[in-house]
């Protein structure tokens, strides 16, 4: 990408200052940081546009296998559930502008971005509100299930809804991007915020998510990055639960903020949403981690 070209003149100096193995890592980290800073700058410009909750469009007629009557004048269309996008901590729906466009360009026209209040102090309450939103979406669209993509904290909220509040009846596939499934130790000073404390290893919320979840009907796909500066340790963004059908996808060379923006990740998300249960089980059995960037 053009943003990373800014650091190319520094490459010879990096190689001289650090051993070869460290120099390669440092250059990659430098590029990822530059990309994250560029994304942050762009996101700050878009942030005001995402403060207001998204306007809900008119109900979309259900496709034939979702209970609707088939229109003889309409070409056959593969039924896909609505996609719900859920942002991270101190963020809003504007973070999904590019991902939403990518999904729409590839046939996912029923995409909705949800905002939860920045004053939210409990993951459980946010998960209950998510459940109400999803029920409303299903009623309005005529679909019995949805797919969810959650970035960072948004993925943890969605997972709590699925595992602890019966949301597996509504969520077909949950894709998480840089979500602290095992809890993260980053920025200890942020513990003043109660929702940050719930994202710590050993918190009650993290403990509840580690409990048995036999029969969970939702498929999980977790994207985690080897340069995610908000995940300490990095593996905290992986899902490791014996009762869940989960696939962990490793993304190389990009940071936390780039996960909902990077085109390679968007391609991986589309593939995850288009994969059926049989393919998912086979993929989870054969692949532990995949590099997509």
DSSP track, 134-169: HHHHHHHH--S-EEEEEETHHHHHHHHHHHHSSGGG
Q: Give the list of residues 6+ apart from residue 83 with CB closer than 8 angstroms, or none.
A: 103, 108, 110, 111, 112, 146, 147, 148, 149, 273
Residue 226 CB: number of other CB atoms within 10 A?
A: 19
Cα gap 14→26, rounded to integer Å: 7
User: 218: buried, middle or exposed (CB in 10 Å: 19+, 13-18, 0-12)?
Assistant: buried
pLDDT for residue 290: 56
Cα gap 290→293, rounded to integer Å: 9
- For residue range 178-236, what is the model confidence (pLDDT) as tens digits? 999 999 999 888 899 999 999 999 999 999 999 999 999 999 999 999 999 999 999 99
Contact of 174 with 209, CB cutoff 8 Å? no
Instruction: Find the distance separating the first CA and the last CA of the chain, reported in whole Å.
Output: 12
Strands of 245-251's sheet in order across: 111-114, 83-86, 146-151, 171-177, 219-225, 245-251
pTM for this predicted structure? 0.79
Residue-wise pLDDT tens for the chain (293 aa)? 443 444 445 444 444 434 444 445 577 777 777 777 776 676 667 666 656 666 665 554 444 444 444 444 443 445 799 999 999 998 888 899 999 999 999 999 899 999 887 788 999 999 999 999 999 999 999 999 999 999 999 999 999 999 999 999 999 999 999 999 999 999 888 899 999 999 999 999 999 999 999 999 999 999 999 999 999 999 999 999 999 999 999 999 899 999 999 999 999 999 999 987 555 555 554 455 656 55
Q: Give the list of residues 6+ apart from residue 4 with CB closer than 8 angstroms, or none.
A: 31, 34, 35
pLDDT for residue 3: 38
Cα gap 136→73, rounded to integer Å: 29
Q: Any idea which residue has 């990095």 for tokens?
A: 234
């Amino acid at each position: 990408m053009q943003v990373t070209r800014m650091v190319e003149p520094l490459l010879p100096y990096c190689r001289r200052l650090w051993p070869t193995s460290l120099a390669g890592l440092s250059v990659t980290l430098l590029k990822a940081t530059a990309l994250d800073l560029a994304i942050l700058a762009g996101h700050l410009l878009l942030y005001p546009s995402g403060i207001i909750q998204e306007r809900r469009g008119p109900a979309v007629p259900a496709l034939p296998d979702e209970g609707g009557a088939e229109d003889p004048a309409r070409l056959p269309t593969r039924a896909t559930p609505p996609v719900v996008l859920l942002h991270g901590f101190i963020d809003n729906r504007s973070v999904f502008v590019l991902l939403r466009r990518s999904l729409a360009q590839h046939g996912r026209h029923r995409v909705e971005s949800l905002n939860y209040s920045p004053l939210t102090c409990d993951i459980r309450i946010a998960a209950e509100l998510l459940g109400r939103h999803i029920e409303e979406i299903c009623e309005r669209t005529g679909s019995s299930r949805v797919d969810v993509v959650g970035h960072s904290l948004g993925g943890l909220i969605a997972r709590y809804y699925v595992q602890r509040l019966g949301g597996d009846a509504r969520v077909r596939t949950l894709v998480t991007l840089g979500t602290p499934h095992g809890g993260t130790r980053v920025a200890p000073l942020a513990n003043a915020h109660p929702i940050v404390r719930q994202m710590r290893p050993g918190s009650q919320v993290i403990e509840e998510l580690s409990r048995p979840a036999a029969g969970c009907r939702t498929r999980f796909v977790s994207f985690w990055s080897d340069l995610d500066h908000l995940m300490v340790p990095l593996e905290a963004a992986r899902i490791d639960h014996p009762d869940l059908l989960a696939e962990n996808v490793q993304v190389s060379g990009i940071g936390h903020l780039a996960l909902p923006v990077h085109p390679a990740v968007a391609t991986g998300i589309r593939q995850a949403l288009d994969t059926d249960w049989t393919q998912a089980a086979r993929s989870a059995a054969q692949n532990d981690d995949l590099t997509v960037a």
